[in-house]
Amino acid sequence: MPPSDRPPEDSGAPLPLGIAPGAAGEFRGVLRRRGCDLHYRLEGWPGPAVVLCHGAHMDLRMFDAQVAPLVAAGYRVLRWDLRGHGASKPMGRDADVVTLTADLLAVLDATVGAPAVLLGHSYGGFVVQELYHHYPEYATALVLVSTLCTTRPVAMHEWWRMRAQHAAAVALPRAVRARGIGAHAAETAAARAYSEHAAAALDRDEFRSVLAGVRGAFRADPAHRIDAPLLLVRGSADRADPGVAATAAAWARREPDCRYEVVRRAGHNVPQDRPAAFNDILLDFLAERAPARPAGAGPGPMA
């Protein structure tokens, strides 16, 4: 996303939906931007921010098991529904990576600012990479889960195979498509049920737009490197995208400051399939590369 595409300052102001009482504190907000009400949640008291970006066809609930451990460790957690997903409706415009990255910048600027730890799962990882490529100052560290390197060259046959698979998926009835996504996204019954429910929220046009965004996110730039501390995680049983397992180790070797972890018996949705193992890896990485103070004695202001 070139600098000229950065969201303007008048792209929308956060509209508060309410604050839920509790020791951690929770703020639910909406940022109205380019035809879409972008829904987000801020949880925890002021501290270093960890931003959670879910994958295609999912929503912010996929990180439910990560919020409490992160808050207890002293982090403030921002998670949001990508355009067209979850409560962020209507889609408004196509869910391409440039638009989603501009959305993320707008949400960040309206909430926690910069820098922050940026965590992206699957397509959310594409968005995080795109943001870092143009605005590295926004990242204290990156955590990329079950995703692909968007700057690697993609062979023509690979691109056409992706296009054919996407076209076949779009043609399926909505319920059948959602069941297929649930079956491939996770290994545990609960995570599969969640994935099916989340995917069913996207209609055919929204689904088509997201898949077009996935295909359009790649740009060959073999010299590009992620200089920020990077945690790269995948599940050993990921069946949603074989390319993740095929390319992750080489990607990790390419980056100058990368920790690479494979979570056993986890599918594509690693944070849901094996939350305890994933949280241990995440918190250990953060303690070393982006430390926070322990949770304090009381709340500060939410803003």
pLDDT tens for residues 211-265?
999 999 999 998 999 999 999 999 999 999 889 999 999 999 999 999 999 999 9
- Give the pLDDT of residue 302: 42
Q: How many CA atoms lie within 13 A of 234 on its CB side?
A: 22
Closest CA to 232 of 68, 151, 67, 122: 122
Query: Rounded to an integer, what distance in angstroms lies between the CA atom of residue 49 and that of residue 41?
Result: 12
296 domain-assigned: no
294 domain-assigned: no
Domain with residue 170: its CATH number is 3.40.50.1820
5 domain-assigned: no
61 domain-assigned: yes
220 domain-assigned: yes
Closest CA to 81 of 62, 66, 98: 62
Q: What angle do CA 229, 55, 243 make, to 5 degrees?
A: 75
161 domain-assigned: yes
Comparing 19-23, 31-35, 178-182, 276-280, which segment has the lowest mean pLDDT? 19-23
The mean pLDDT of the chain is 90
Enclosing H/E stretch for 133: helix 123-134
Contacts of 55 (CB under 8 A, 6+ apart): 62, 121, 122, 123, 124, 125, 146, 147, 268, 269
Question: For residue 36, what pLDDT band results from cuts at 50, 70 and 90?
Answer: very high
Q: Is the pLDDT confidence value at 172 over 80?
A: yes
3 domain-assigned: no
Domain count, the chain: 1
Closest CA to 213 of 57, 60, 107: 57
Tell me which residue range forms the domain holding 102.
12-289
- Give the pLDDT of residue 299: 45
Residues 66-90 pLDDT 10s: 999 999 999 999 999 999 999 999 9
Query: Rounded to an integer, what distance in angstroms lies between the CA atom of residue 247 and that of residue 149?
Result: 8
Question: For residue 160, what pLDDT band results from cuts at 50, 70 and 90?
Answer: confident
3-state secondary structure of 233: strand
Residues 117-158 pLDDT 10s: 999 999 999 999 999 999 999 999 999 999 999 999 888 888
What percentage of the chain reaches a pLDDT higher than 70? 89
197 domain-assigned: yes
- Kindly state the tokens that stand for 45: 């008291």
